Chain A
Amino acid sequence: MTAATQHTPKQALRRYFKIFVPSMAAYLILVFLAAYLIKNEIVGGAPKYVLAFLPGLAALAFLYGWFRFIRETDELARRVQTEASMVGLAVILSLSLGWGILEMFIETLPRLPLFYVFPLYFAAQGLASWRLSKKYGTGFCLP
Chain B
Amino acid sequence: MSYTKSMLKARRKFTLKFLALYLVTIGLLLATCSISVKYLTVEDQSNFFRYFLILSPVIPALLLLFLSRWFLKSTDELHRNIVIKGLLWGLSATMLMIIPWSFLEFFRADMLDLRANYLLQIFVIFYAIGMIYGHWKSGAYVKSNDYDPWREPKS
Q: Spell out A's residues near B (CB within 8 Å).
A: 1-2, 34-35, 38-39, 48-49, 52-53, 55-57, 59-60, 63, 67, 70, 78, 82-83, 85-86, 89-90, 92-94, 96-105, 112-115, 117-118
Contact = CB atoms under 8 A, between A and B. Distances in A.
Task: Please report whether the interface of chain A is mostly helix, strand, loop or mixed according to DSSP.
Answer: helix
Contact of B65 (A2, A90, A98): A90
Given A56-B99, A60-B92, A98-B54, A86 B87 contact: yes
B58 A98 contact: yes
Contacts, number: 137
Task: Please report whether the interface of chain B is mostly helix, strand, loop or mixed according to DSSP.
Answer: helix
A2 B117 contact: no
A115 B123 contact: no
B104 A49 contact: yes
Interface string B42-84: 0000000010011101100110110011001000001001101
7 contacts: A56-B96, A57-B96, A67-B88, A67-B92, A101-B54, A114-B114, A115-B98
Interface residues of B, number: 44
A93 B120 CA distance: 6
Interface of B: 50, 53-55, 57-58, 61-62, 64-65, 68-69, 72, 78, 81-82, 84-85, 87-88, 91-92, 95-96, 98-107, 109, 114-120, 123, 138
